[in-house]
């Protein structure tokens, strides 16, 4: 029998970082191999955030077995009672919001204002899905036959395998976990190795709220050792994945042979379109926030800006000036406006694309360098970077960088801006800045994206509308809102004939 850690995951004690095991069947347990990995602050590599279980297929097997067993009981709990547990978890997170936000900034780097928003989104999603415990509406319709009643109801899928990213390490797990739970599914979650502590904090809130053992399980470790056996497991009924399009394709292929449910939320190359009648200060605010919020490490980041030639120079002057003024540093400092890249690999990717942009002839307007001295020497910092005079065909304007790099493309008309916007393989988010309602509605109709904004940047989704994209961004499903219920449930149509004799639909309907 494996050793167990304390039932509630420990926090720091005596100046030492806490050790965290996997959460399986209501207990914190070490990895079967005994191996661990360190989680360090990307703004200060001397800051050890925690030590986590470096797991493998054996741990996944135990977690899935626990989830399967718990499913028998959890699906029978009335949905309103499941909702009450989620509501209590949200209340706990409200009380611990600042603690969880600081943990998140330490482990993934974004500034405190943003991590507070991340935790708040988790809270909002948990409250929202708690309410679905008393809704989950189906349909009742008249039958074409006398003395017959019909309705539809939702059924849970079973064990949900959740593979979550590091950039929104509480919000995105909540997008997946809470709809799965309210419907009666059980969960095995694999958090990103860069941000496991935030998922630990979410699970602790659920545990404290009274979630029964085995209903939620967590296994930490790498994609090959944990993610692959989870998505290939025969008893996992649905896999929900957020990450790159390349890995998403692998997930889809793994799910296809058994026709298991598969939900994918992948890349983006989002555009802000600035028209000649736009309020430029507002548009610059949006471009700075959309391009450099979360250090550009969002699938919805505004990594492209198409600006009408009539206002191009004025916009660019203001955009560059604002960007140069951004303070980059440790996100725990109140005056810092942009944090580090999440790890050295991500910073290297940013540097690679800076080199590609220069080789393609894009004009470097500001930034372009790593920050590695003084206050930045112990972190993975990179300057916020703008390239101007870009063409829509440049790789810097086509491929997802996932870092603080924005390409600015001059355009001559709304029609050209829309053409540029739709020219990439992704279709997540787009926005337009204009005072002309006709232009706004035209762009709203013509942009083939899952999300669209008017006079706002490409980031800022709320939990009560569907979230997701088209083309290589996703596979047709949506997260958040009631749309998430469709991901984690099956419809059952029910017919009740109380006529006392055989009635044949479409046949015994009379003339």
299 is catalytic: yes
Distance CA 68, CA 260 (A): 16
- The answer to whether 122 is a known catalytic residue is no
Contacts (Cβ under 8 Å, ≥6 apart) of 377: none
The torsion angle over the Cα atoms of residues 430, 433, 435 and 439, rounded to 10 degrees, is -40
* Radius of gyration, CA atoms only, the chain: 24
Q: Helix 112-131 crosses helix 79-95 at what angle (to 10 degrees)?
A: 160
Question: In degrees to the nearest 10, what's the CA dihedral of 503, 504, 509, 511?
Answer: -110
Number of CB atoms found within 10 A of residue 115's CB: 31
For the chain, give percent helix, strand, coil, nearest 5: 40, 25, 40
132, 265, 351, 479: the active-site residue: 265
Query: Distances in Å between the alpha carbon of 146 and those of 496, 502, 504?
Result: 11, 11, 11
Count of other CB atoms within 10 angstroms of residue 494 = 11
DSSP-derived 3-state class of residue 17: coil
Catalytic residue among 255, 299, 341, 390: 299
Q: How many other C-beta atoms can be found within 10 angstroms of the C-beta atom of residue 363?
A: 13
Active site residues: 265, 299
């Amino acid at each position: 029998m494996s050793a167990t850690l304390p039932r509630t995951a420990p926090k720091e004690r005596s100046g030492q970082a806490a050790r965290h095991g996997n959460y399986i069947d209501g207990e914190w347990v070490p990895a079967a191999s005994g191996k661990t990995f360190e989680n360090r602050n990307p703004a200060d590599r001397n800051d050890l955030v925690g030590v986590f279980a470096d797991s493998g297929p054996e741990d996944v097997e135990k977690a899935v077995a626990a989830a399967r067993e718990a499913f028998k009981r959890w699906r029978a709990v009335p949905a309103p009672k499941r909702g009450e547990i989620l509501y209590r978890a949200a209340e706990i997170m409200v009380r611990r919001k600042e603690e969880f936000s600081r943990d998140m900034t330490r482990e993934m780097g974004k500034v405190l204002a943003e991590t507070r928003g991340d935790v708040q989104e988790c809270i909002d999603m948990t409250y929202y899905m708690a309410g679905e415990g008393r809704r989950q509406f189906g349909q009742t319709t008249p039958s074409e036959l006398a003395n017959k009643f019909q309705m539809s109801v939702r059924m849970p899928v079973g064990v949900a395998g959740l593979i979550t990213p590091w950039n929104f390490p509480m919000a995105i797990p909540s997008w997946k976990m809470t709809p799965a739970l309210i419907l009666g599914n059980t969960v095995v979650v694999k958090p990103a190795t860069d941000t496991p502590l935030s998922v630990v904090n979410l699970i602790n809130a659920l545990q404290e709220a009274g979630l029964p053992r085995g209903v939620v399980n967590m296994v930490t470790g790498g994609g090959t050792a944990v993610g692959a056996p989870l998505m290939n497991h025969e008893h996992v009924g649905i896999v929900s994945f957020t990450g790159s399009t390349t890995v998403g394709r692998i997930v889809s292929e793994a799910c296809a042979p058994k026709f298991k449910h598969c939900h994918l939320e992948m890349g983006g190359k989002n555009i802000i379109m600035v028209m000649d009648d736009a309020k430029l200060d507002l548009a610059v605010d949006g471009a700075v926030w959309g391009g450099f919020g979360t250090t550009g490490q969002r699938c919805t980041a505004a990594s492209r800006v198409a600006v009408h030639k009539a206002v191009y120079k004025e916009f660019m002057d203001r955009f560059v000036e604002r960007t140069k003024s951004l303070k980059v540093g440790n996100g725990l400092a109140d005056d810092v406006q942009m944090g580090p890249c999440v790890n050295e690999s991500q910073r290297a990717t940013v540097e690679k694309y800076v080199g590609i942009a220069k080789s393609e002839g894009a004009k470097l307007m500001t930034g372009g360098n790593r920050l590695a001295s003084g206050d930045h020497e112990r972190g993975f910092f990179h300057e916020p970077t703008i390239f101007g005079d870009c063409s829509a065909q440049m790789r810097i304007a086509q491929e997802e960088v996932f870092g603080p790099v924005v390409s600015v493309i001059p355009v001559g008309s709304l029609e050209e801006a829309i053409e540029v916007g739709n020219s990439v393989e992704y279709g997540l988010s787009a926005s337009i800045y204009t005072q002309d309602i006709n232009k706004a509605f035209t762009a709203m109709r013509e942009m083939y994206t899952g999300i669209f904004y008017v006079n706002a940047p490409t980031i800022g989704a709320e939990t009560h509308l569907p979230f997701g994209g088209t083309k290589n961004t996703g596979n047709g499903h949506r997260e958040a809102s009631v749309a998430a219920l469709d991901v984690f449930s099956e419809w059952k149509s029910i017919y009740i004939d109380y006529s006392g004799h055989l009635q044949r639909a479409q046949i015994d309907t009379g003339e």
